[in-house]
Structure 1
Amino acid sequence: MASKLQFFLLLSLLSCATLQITMAGDPDILTDFITPPFLFFPIDGNFFTFTGMRALVNAPFPTTFKVTKASMAEFAALNGQSVSYAVLQFPNGTVNPPHTHPRASELLFVLMGSLEVGFVDTTNMLFTQTLQQGDIFVFPKGLVHFQYNCDAKNPALALSAFGSANAGTVSVPNSVFNTTIDDQILALSFKTDVATIQKIKSGLSG
């Protein structure tokens, strides 16, 4: 009898764990919105307004790739709303290197110029597309992807929408080469030598 009860409890725990994994993402909230615990002013329209993108209006285009975010870190009213934005500015010939967003899919809308984009699925198949102004492309949640402005003369501008207030970004080059993973492990993993790994690390840190 005890063994049947233990088996039932174990099965229940496994079921709960599986359900928790399948429901991973921003949790549903039980209120209309979430206010910060230490808010010293009354809630009004200002709380639900983000003005951080105003800095982009009539500003000179950057000389290097730039991301301006409106996520929960910058815009507290997004907490619990499962949405966020980012404006991506690509001077000619610049790239947003391979990266992932572990907590959200990404919907990219090209507002100006053109972009070469792509992602790699879990079977290592690469899906690419050349996007023109007005095109939209989706990057599935958690998959490695990139964007590249291959135009040698013209900049590109895009808006990304995320299905999370805090999508997270994991840069593939940085997470592999700018952490404390042992050089020997990296050399074996990439079938090269330690000197080559150190040269790559040096290039990334510069």
Structure 2
Amino acid sequence: KATPTTNHSIHITLPLDNTTLEMVAMNALLVLTLLLAVTCYCAMAGDPDITTDFVVPDGTMASGNFFTFTGLRSVVRGGAPPTAATPFKVTKVSQVEFPALDGQSVSMAVLQYAPGGINPLHTHPRSAELLLVAEGWLDVGFVDTANKLFVQTLQTGDTFVFPKGLPHFQLNRDPKYPAVAVSAFGSANAGTVALPKALFGSGVDVGVLAKSFKTDGDTIQKLVAAATTMGY
């Protein structure tokens, strides 16, 4: 016959002094602060969120027309391609051109390159860029924060991502045929900082630029003159 057993385990609760209680409270407060900081960072990492389905500007009626953008019709139909005088052309579909994108965290652009055309070094401070080559070939590249260069030659149908905020470029090296690409952004207004214009066409003092690039003022003046005549 089995003999029942009895659990004689003893639980001892030690009293916590004031110092221990203060340490527990401080640790809890620290964890709460860190969680709050991470939450705020994640909330601010993209476009501000909205609490409605969409945003309609005052005085605008929400209809099918409001959610339709027709500015790419001429591009798709082959009108006004880039030329030797303007070897690169971009048609943006951002919140500025298409107000229905406000709060939707998405936008796009169609990029057209004449033979030999280039989209010079630039950055998008508020979004990464996902580029699809729709026609032709493109040499693309970006530079990371460790000053490492990443380059690739893309064929029609290839896709390439430019990480958020990093300097990057696209070049149509073909001397005879144009190229077309479509870019998507994770922001309604990704922003564009064209580095040649930002550095040499924004009015930064020539002396500052000369010292920054360890060159003379005449060289900087030539770069300033070139930047102020850029068509993009």
Report what 2:216 is aligned to: 193
Contact 2:197 2:228 in 1 (8 A): no
Q: CA deviation at 1:94?
A: 0.8
State the AA in 2 paired with 1:159.
V
Superposed CA offset, 1:147-168 (max 9, x none): 0000011100000000000000
1:37 aligns with 2:66: no
Residues of 2 paired with 1:20 and 1:105: CA distance?
Answer: 17
Q: CA deviation at 1:12?
A: 5.3
Residues of 1 paired with 2:170 and 2:193: CA distance?
Answer: 15
2:139 to 116, 122, 145: 116
State the AA in 2 paired with 1:37.
D
Q: How does 1:70-149 map to 2 (within 5 A)?
A: 70-149=93-172
SS of 1:52's equivalent? coil
State the AA in 2 paired with 1:23.
M
The sequence identity of aligned pairs, in percent, is 58
Residues of 1 paired with 2:192 and 2:103: CA distance?
Answer: 19
Larger Rg: 2
Greater CA deviation, 49-58 or 132-141?
A: 49-58
Question: Using CA pairs below 8 Å that are at least 6 residues apart, which structure has the higher relative contact order?
Answer: 1
Residues of 2 paired with 1:195 and 1:17: CA distance?
Answer: 49
Residues of 2 paired with 1:120 and 1:188: CA distance?
Answer: 23
Q: Structure 2: which 5+ residue stretches go unaligned?
A: 1-25
SS of 2:147's equivalent? coil
1:61 aligns with 2:81: yes
Q: CA deviation at 1:48?
A: 0.8
Superposed CA offset, 1:106-154 (max 9, x none): 0000000000000000000000000000000000000000000000111
State the AA in 1 paired with 2:93.
A
Residues of 1 paired with 2:110 and 2:102: CA distance?
Answer: 19
CA-based RMSD:
2.3
Report what 1:49 is aligned to: 68
Counterparts in 2 of 1:21 and 1:43: CA distance versus 1, 3 Å: closer
Residues of 2 paired with 1:179 and 1:59: CA distance?
Answer: 32
Query: Where in structure 1 do 4 or more consecutive aligned residues deviate above 4 Å?
Result: 15-18
Q: Normalized against structure 2, the TM-score is what?
A: 0.79
